[in-house]
Chains A and B, each alone.
Chain A
Amino acid sequence: MDFNFTEEQTMLRDMVRKFVDKEIKPLAQQIDKEHNVDLVKSIFKKGSALGLYGTPFPEAYGGSGMGETGYAILIEELSRGCASTSVTIGAHIGLAGMSILIGGNEEQKKKYLSSIASGEKMGAYALTEPGAGSDAASLQLSAKEEGDDYILNGTKLWITNGDIADIIVVYGLTNPELKARGGITAFIVEAPSAGFSANRIEDKMGLRGSATAELVFENVRVPKENVLGKVGMGFAIAMETLDESRLSLAAACIGAAKEVLSMSVDFSKKRVAFKQAIASFQAIQFMIADMSAEIYQMESIVYRTAWLYDQGKKIPREGAICKLFCSEALDRIVDKAVQIHGGNGFMGEHPVERFYRDSRVNRIFEGTSEIQRMVIAEDVIKNGSD
């Protein structure tokens, strides 16, 4: 057993941390206040020069082969700076890129995964629909075969990077009877495409600098060679991608949690009340202790699970546990952080207020906490408790 990062992993962490400190943190408040997706895009571009988006992918597709552990490190560090940026990059690598890695054939990986790994193209993943969120299997977007193409019609909702991506992995219904049991197919759609349009959704509680969009498909023609994997395999690809990406979402929670803990400690040492720094009060100390204890648990389960994934194990239960625990722990942590900051924490001027808002969605997207509990319970009941 070895719980140490390798030298490469440590160097990756140090490099991303430096990048975040210099290039992301100074802009994070502005990104949030102005809903400034352009700033996020400019950071995205700088990140591609550093080869960040190849972190988990094999070298054959322009990646660095640092696996899920490397990817978790990357996302954890990015999340210390700016959740909007982290989510943008997460959707690009962990949803779009991973879908192609999991489901794509050699040609698709060479063509699309490589350009995602280099950051030359930006990726998005379109599963959710107005009537299909947690219940993804009931998606309605239709995909009809016509000659050498499929014709897509329907709407996708709340798609991260939806209106700024060049490559979108779209899940559609090729056989309405079979639905999730072989009726859902994944397509690689290039944007722009005739009949495809995207509308930015601006009014969000958090992640205000990430581009969330509604995607409309009106007779969008997708060539058959852009069927990801095989026809009917879409739902399996979607679920396996989510297993992996839930883990990275949990890693994002660690970064945010560490950042607000560090802000809280700094603040409590500076802030004086009743002639003492508030850090000297037990009420504050206990909150700090609880935050720290939860962060230790988050780190422990996430990196253990990343290691399992890198050993080639499937992680449906473990990924869900990480996502469930870390998203809920983060909400408890940001809540304490705001409490420690008092009135300051309620003011938009202070970054802790942003972290509080950005945190909430983690219990919702990529499967709500309730869905995670269902996934976990089903697996435990079916496969035993060990």
Chain B
Amino acid sequence: MNIAACIKQVPATESKIRPSTDGKDIDRTGLSYVVNPYDEFGVEEGLKIKEQLGDGSVTAISIGGEKVAEALRTCLAVGSDQAIHIQDDAIEGSDGHAIARILAAALKKSDYDIIFFGRQAIDDDSGAIGIHVADLMGLPHVAGINKLEIIPDEKRAVANRQIEGATEVIEISLPAIFTCQKGLNEPRYASLPGIMKAKQKPMTVLSLSDLEISADSVDSSKAKTTVIKIESPPARSAGIIIEGSPSEAVAELIRLLREEAKVL
């Protein structure tokens, strides 16, 4: 199986997020960056499939500046075979459609049987790119999978995805795209030998022209939407602490919920 995992480098989960002074981005000082946790599920699933079938290759793919090489190297350290780093100044400010077009162009360069994305990136929480790419490449997809079984001989797979109060079991032909939800697997740690080997594994850097995409067709001027404001969510202030014995406190809580909040 030829497997690709598209990953994004994002601020670490526990980061404190504050708007930047111009209010159009977040304040990035002092942030540490990681591979988007949902994308890690994709890399791990790729590695598991490769191990189960006893052959295959996992390629980690990402878009972004110099620093993104670190995220890709992490993917190599956990066991991916090679990495593709798409780097081009023109990509700054591109919208989801443009990012999807660029990824689709890179993915088309090799015949992947399975392409993984995270169900969403934990920075912009959009959850659209994997689905956009599937549409552009004319591939079927399942979004938000938490279980996957590959039937290589029949070139198909069975995937589970959680919906409200139920699980959908979906049969899908390969090649296909999956976006990964928590619960799919437990991503492994990089091993020390893996870290040492990562530098020797191939990392291809591609520009837009390598992908035969003109810069002005994907740059910020072509974006269908622009971020005009990033704000902190409205702050909640502490309310009241209800004192008294347990039964007094409960009685007072019920009264407040009925009379003040009017939610009961």
> Is A in direct contact with B (CB under 8 Å) within the complex?
yes
Q: What is A's interface to B at a CB cutoff of 8 Å?
A: 7-8, 10-12, 14-15, 18-19, 49-52, 54-55, 64-66
Compute how far the CA of A297 lies from the CA of B51 in the bound complex, rounded to whole angstroms. Answer: 46
Contact of B192 among A7, A14, A52 (CB under 8 A): A52
Contact B196 A64 (CB under 8 A): yes
Which chain B residues in 52-89 approach chain A with CB under 8 Å?
A: 70, 73-74, 77
Instruction: Tell me the interface secondary structure of chain B in the complex.
Output: helix
Which chain B residues in 155-210 approach chain A with CB under 8 Å?
A: 189-196, 198-199
Contact A12 B195 (CB under 8 A): yes
Shortest CB-to-CB span from B110 to chain A, Å, is: 26
Shortest CB-to-CB span from B13 to chain A, Å, is: 11
**A-B interface pairs (CB < 8 A), number:** 46
Contact A8 B196 (CB under 8 A): yes
Q: What is B's interface to A at a CB cutoff of 8 Å?
A: 34, 70, 73-74, 77, 189-196, 198-199
In the complex, chain B residues whose CB is within 8 Å of the CB of A7:
70, 73, 199
In the complex, chain B residues whose CB is within 8 Å of the CB of A8:
195-196, 198-199
Compute how far the CA of A54 lies from the CA of B192 in the bound complex, rounded to whole angstroms. Answer: 8
In the complex, chain B residues whose CB is within 8 Å of the CB of A52:
192
Contact B191 A11 (CB under 8 A): no
Please give me the 3 A-B residue pairs with the lowest Cβ-Cβ distance, nearest first: A51-B192, A15-B190, A11-B195
In the complex, chain A residues whose CB is within 8 Å of the CB of B190:
11, 15, 50
Chain A minimum-CB-distance residue to B198: A11
Shortest CB-to-CB span from A60 to chain B, Å, is: 14
In the complex, chain A residues whose CB is within 8 Å of the CB of B194:
51
In the complex, chain A residues whose CB is within 8 Å of the CB of B70:
7, 10
A-B contact pairs, 13 of them (CB 8 A): A8-B196, A8-B198, A11-B77, A12-B195, A19-B189, A50-B191, A51-B191, A52-B192, A54-B193, A55-B192, A64-B196, A65-B196, A66-B192
In the complex, chain A residues whose CB is within 8 Å of the CB of B198:
8, 11
In the complex, chain A residues whose CB is within 8 Å of the CB of B73:
7, 11
Shortest CB-to-CB span from A245 to chain B, Å, is: 20
In the complex, chain B residues whose CB is within 8 Å of the CB of A54:
192-193
Shortest CB-to-CB span from A73 to chain B, Å, is: 11
Shortest CB-to-CB span from A137 to chain B, Å, is: 36
Compute how far the CA of A52 lies from the CA of B192 in the bound complex, rounded to whole angstroms. Answer: 6
Compute how far the CA of A18 lies from the CA of B77 in the bound complex, rounded to whole angstroms. Answer: 14
Contact B192 A64 (CB under 8 A): yes
Shortest CB-to-CB span from B40 to chain A, Å, is: 11
Contact A49 B191 (CB under 8 A): yes
Contact B74 A64 (CB under 8 A): no
In the complex, chain A residues whose CB is within 8 Å of the CB of B192:
12, 15, 50-52, 54-55, 64, 66
Chain B minimum-CB-distance residue to A11: B195
In the complex, chain B residues whose CB is within 8 Å of the CB of A14:
34, 74
Contact of B74 among A11, A49, A55, A65 (CB under 8 A): A11
Contact A51 B189 (CB under 8 A): no
Shortest CB-to-CB span from A381 to chain B, Å, is: 41
Chain A minimum-CB-distance residue to B78: A15
In the complex, chain B residues whose CB is within 8 Å of the CB of A15:
77, 189-192, 195
Chain B minimum-CB-distance residue to A49: B191
Chain B minimum-CB-distance residue to A22: B189
Compute how far the CA of A10 lies from the CA of B73 in the bound complex, rounded to whole angstroms. Answer: 11
In the complex, chain B residues whose CB is within 8 Å of the CB of A55:
192
Contact A18 B196 (CB under 8 A): no
